[in-house]
Amino acid sequence: MPIQNPQVLRRFMDEIGTVDQIGIDERVAKYSTRSIKKSSKVFGLKLATTMVDLTTLEGKDTPGKVASLCQKALHPHDDSDIPATAAVCVYPAMVKNAAKWVKGTSVKIASVATAFPSGQAPLKTRLAEVRAAVSDGADEIDMVINRGAFLAGELALVQDEIAAVLEACGDATLKVILETSELETYDNIRAASFLAMRVLRPGDFIKTSTGKTNLNATLGNNQVMLEAIRDYFFATGIEIAMKPAGGIRTAKEALHFLVAVKETLGDAWLTNTRYRFGASALLNDLVRQLVKEKTGAYQAPYSFSESSSAY
């Protein structure tokens, strides 16, 4: 594709402002030094549990695997004090299977559509996939943006495609995956966030990554996106939600991400309608820490269901 207008990205950044990488990295380093203890730790761990989009996105997924994922999302542990997760996240072909288990419960069905993870399929195909997932019962659609078009400066194309997917979603919530590691710079992440937010509805999400590349959610790209959400909120009054995904494996990391939310966007974003974690292994560590807070002792990994860690 010939580059139509190489200056367009630069001009867009002039409009929305740039980001200093060293400054961001320094800011987020402070989040990891916050000391979260006692009841605030329990609150944070439970909150994080309610924010998990429990995910399985593998070629080897089967109806059985999805069924056990759904059970895990509904009842993460024997202890009934531990809340259900926000959603399960599966491929479109698995939506029907998930619906059998979680429809009518508090757990939503999220589905990655639009030729996830590359997005390299004709728009018509991607839109058809979205419609199919929604009609099978998906409450939320996780789409990927056209990174190739973004890097080529075809910003309008990127935005038009998001708008088209949004229309195909109907009432389903949309999560726009920027795939931050392919955009590479914080400036690009901020620009892509604004492109998406300008067509999204209140309560729709921007999301860091697919989890399929080697670098996924980091405190740094999370911060860039939270600040974009904050700036957009002050400019328009529209509240956009946020989902870091991939790479958050421990409860401690999840708490650091929540500290970033608390100190950047405040209390209104500390809820699973405004903030989610796309994760799988994270849930068991959250549960493990919650049980430890209650009993005073760490349990062996195999005492938690679906645990794949050795002992």
Partner 1 sequence: MSAKRNPARELLFGDLWEYDPAPETAKAFIDERYGLFINGKFVAPKTKKYFDSISPRNEQKLAEIALAGSSDVDAAYQAATTAFKSWSKLPGTERAKYLFRIARLLQDRAREFAVAETLDGGKPIKESRDFDVPMAAAHFFYHAGWADKLDHVTPGRTLAPLGVIGQVIPWNFPLLMLAWKIAPALATGNTVVLKPAETTSITALKFATILQDAGLPPGVVNFVTGAGETGSAVVNHPLAAKIAFTGSTAVGKAIQRALAGTGKRLTLELGGKAANIVFEDAPIDQAVEGIINGIFFNQGHVCCAGSRLLVQESVAAAVLAKLKIRLRSLRTGDPLDKNTDVGAINSKAQLARIQALVAVGVAEGAEIYQADCNLPEKGWYFPPTLFSNVSQSHSIAREEIFGPVLSILTFRTPEEAVEKANNTHYGLSAGVWTDKGSRILKMSTELKAGVVWANSFNKFDPTSPFGGFKESGFGREGGKQGLLDYAQLV
Residues carrying an active site annotation: 142, 207, 243
Give the SS3 label for residue 241: strand
> What is the DSSP pairing of strand 87-90 with strand 205-207?
unpaired
**Tokens read off for 287:** 């549960």
Residue closer to partner 1 (CB basis): 231 or 306 = 231
Stretch that binds partner 1, among 121-129, 198-206, 257-265, 287-295 (CB under 8 A): 257-265
* Apex 164 CA angle, 95 and 243, nearest 5: 55
Interacting span for partner 1 (CB under 8 A) from 33-41, 110-118, 169-177, 299-307: 33-41
- Strands of 131-238, DSSP E: 140-144, 173-177, 205-207
Residues 8-27 interacting with partner 1 (rule: CB under 8 A): 15-20, 22-24, 26-27
Of residues 66-125, those binding partner 1 (CB under 8 A): none
Q: Which of residues 37-66 bind partner 1 (CB under 8 A)?
A: 37-41, 43-44, 47
The pair of structure tokens assigned to 36 is: 């979260």
Compute the least distance from the CB of residue 171 to partner 1, in Å. 26
Separation of alpha carbons 235 and 238, rounded Å: 8
Which of residues 1 and 22 has its CB atom nearest to partner 1 in the complex? 22
User: By C-beta, is 7 or 299 nearer to partner 1?
Assistant: 7
76, 46 Cβ separation under 8 angstroms: no
First-to-last alpha carbon distance for the chain, in angstroms, is 52
267 contributes a contact to partner 1 by CB under 8 A: yes
Binding-residue total with partner 1 (CB under 8 A): 40
> Which residues within the stretch 210-239 sit at the binding site for partner 1 (CB under 8 A)?
227, 230-231, 233-235, 237
Residue type at 251 in one-letter notation: A
What whole-number distance in Å separates Cα of residue 52 and Cα of residue 69? Answer: 12
- Enumerate binding residues for partner 1 (CB under 8 A): 15-20, 22-24, 26-27, 33-41, 43-44, 47, 194, 227, 230-231, 233-235, 237, 258, 262-268, 270
